[in-house]
Structure 1
Amino acid sequence: MSEKKKLVYILISVLLLLIIGTLGYYLLTDLSLFNSFYMTIITVSTVGYKEIGELDVLGRLFTVFIIFGGLSLVFYAFTNFTSFLIEGELRDIFRRRSMQSKIEQLSNHYILCGAGETGHSVIEQFSKTDSPLLVVEDNKDKVNNLIEQGIMAIQGDATYEPTLHKAKIDKAQGLITSLPSDADNVLIVLTARELNQNLYIVSRAIEKNADVKLKRAGADNTISPNVLGGARMASLLLRPTVVSFLDVITQAGEELLDLEDVVICDNSDLVGKSLEQARIPERTGLIVLALKNQGSSELRLNPSSDEVLSAGNTMLVLGKIEQVDTLRELACDRRT
């Protein structure tokens, strides 16, 4: 039984004891209903006030019952209430210390600024992977709720430089800012870029042309939930078959299929082999959708089987998380 339920049952028991005591004195004495209630209160509380009515033997036995019942109930309630407070505080202290210890050891992690609706969608996606995510949120209740769920979170204003230092931004590899204000997002991007030149930054864009300002501030990419949502709604009407197909290839039953990029490192056995020789679909179960050369932004879609893999090539693949992990091992891609 949870502690909250125990407290509810205790309150109900106290109420029942008062009702039983009031009715008992009312029936066993010539006291009025109010005086019977008053007699019950001074008996249960054992304040030592003088009895306000004449009690016979049965009345005195009933009083003994009320006294013992009241004392037992009060002692039990006090013990549980104290335990509830102490254990709750200790649990909260240990949870926060454990969370702080994890945060202090963070490296190559991702930072999310803002735990609103967009932020929660980001958290859900990260929860499906092993990638470390630290949430920075100004709302104390939201932070406590995230910590209770086992999600690393700190309270603070992400537009302040000390808060980003606290989130170990100098050791982070990526940052997402999803605050409801373009001005705040621009300020976070500016500050974050100054603190970590190698950080990959993705920002939420709200107003029209906000993406231009964000990229000038240092964002690598921007996303507009309003634009994406509108485009998808239009596609559902104009191209429902295409949207249904995309939903199918990215959601197979209970298992999520994901698009991932894998970089081929110098010491990988895949270097110098053609796609046919690498046999990636057979060895991993993944579908290779595109290739990109190191230093290039051009994606070569549907590469031929004769395409030779080189160090620094990036492969865009579709499959399950564990299949992507297998390919990362083959490619010696140590990113988390």
Structure 2
Amino acid sequence: MNKSIVSLFFLVAIILLGATGYHYIERFPVIDALYMAVITISTVGFGEIYPLSTMGRLFTIGLILVGFVVLGFFGSSLVELLMERVWSGKYRGKKMKKQINRLKKHHIICGFGRVGKVAVQHLSEAGASFVVIDSSAAACEQMRELGYFCIEGDATRESILMDARIKEASGLLALMPSDPHNLFIALNARELNPTLYIIARSEDKHTEKKILKAGADAIICPFDSAGRQIADNLLAATGGNAKIFMEDQVNLRPEWIIVQEGSGMINKTIGEIARSMRHDIIGLRRSGADRLQPPDETVILQGDQLLIISERNDLTVAEEVQAVPQKIVIIDDNPVIVRLYARLFQKAGFHPLTADSGDGGLALILKEKPAAAVVDFMLPGLSGLEVCRHVRQAVPHESMKLVVFTADDTPLVREQCLAAGADEVIVKSSEASQIIGVVSRLLHP
């Protein structure tokens, strides 16, 4: 039981005992007896409200002695409780959080290992403001004892980086002993603050390029740096000239691929997809949880997100391997034609969606926002022309391609369709695959 609660219990008990004694020994009314007990225990020096008998005075002496001890115990417990509240880690944590929230143009150090300690020391000597993030409670306690700002937590989590005021920071050091963790820190930090200068630690030469792709501005390898410094010192001491080699800047970008409904990646493994893409998959996001370097045997599900690193001057990975099929809406009231075109588009690598009326097709287009829509000229409800007009009011030409197919090959119909916003007009023929080629040409000119 808490010491302060025990002391309060004893204090209340001795007051009630004193009031009971005065009530039965001196026949005091209850309120007067309680008052007499309180002023006696507290030793405030007030006079007796009624003359006391010999037995009453002896009782008062005993009550003063016992009450003084109990009151002292209660007072010490109360002071101790207040001091604990003031000096507890919870109070210090709140105070530190307020101080961190006032920081601007500061630096964030992720990891308080051997390299992190040296970085902290140099930043402190330079008078720079900084926040350290480390998952070790002991390391954070050591930092706080030194008077430094420290946040206990996983630096790969966005919420922890936000607690460190990453949006207001000017620089970040990713100094975790694990290269995948440093990669993910660099990725999250770059997304949260595009202007942040990020330096990341790397132990493996093969992962340096990946970390740069994820968003780091520079890479440090403690052992390589130490070796170069030793060699430079040796050359300087013996009259040699140290040469500095600058690596070419890598023009790279991280890219998240969303596994949508109908994607060919569903139920395939990470290893299979990586081989078909010719890109490493360095992250998997599923149900809001991130996994670094997922195992090759991991099976991909609908709704997953894959983190790929690609060259900036390349096509996007989705375009490169058609990992996420583009949606195509087909609107026609003839079920035979709908099934035919849906099958042809699916074989061509698209994700077809169908509707059998103008109203239903318009609602489907506005909801799904496909890459292209193939609209019959004659439809129940809204006509093909009306569908095109409504779509063009909501979606610009660059965002969606509209193709109208019709049995009427007169120039007037063609002009009406183009005026309504269609990108192309196709006359229905026995060659159904023609429309596939037209849509593919519009989407990939």
- Structure having greater relative contact order (Cα 8 Å, sep ≥ 6): 1
Q: Name the TM-score class by shorter chain.
A: 0.3 to 0.5
Structure ranking higher in helix proportion: 1
Larger Rg computed on CA atoms: 2
Alignment TM-score, normalising by the size of structure 2: 0.35
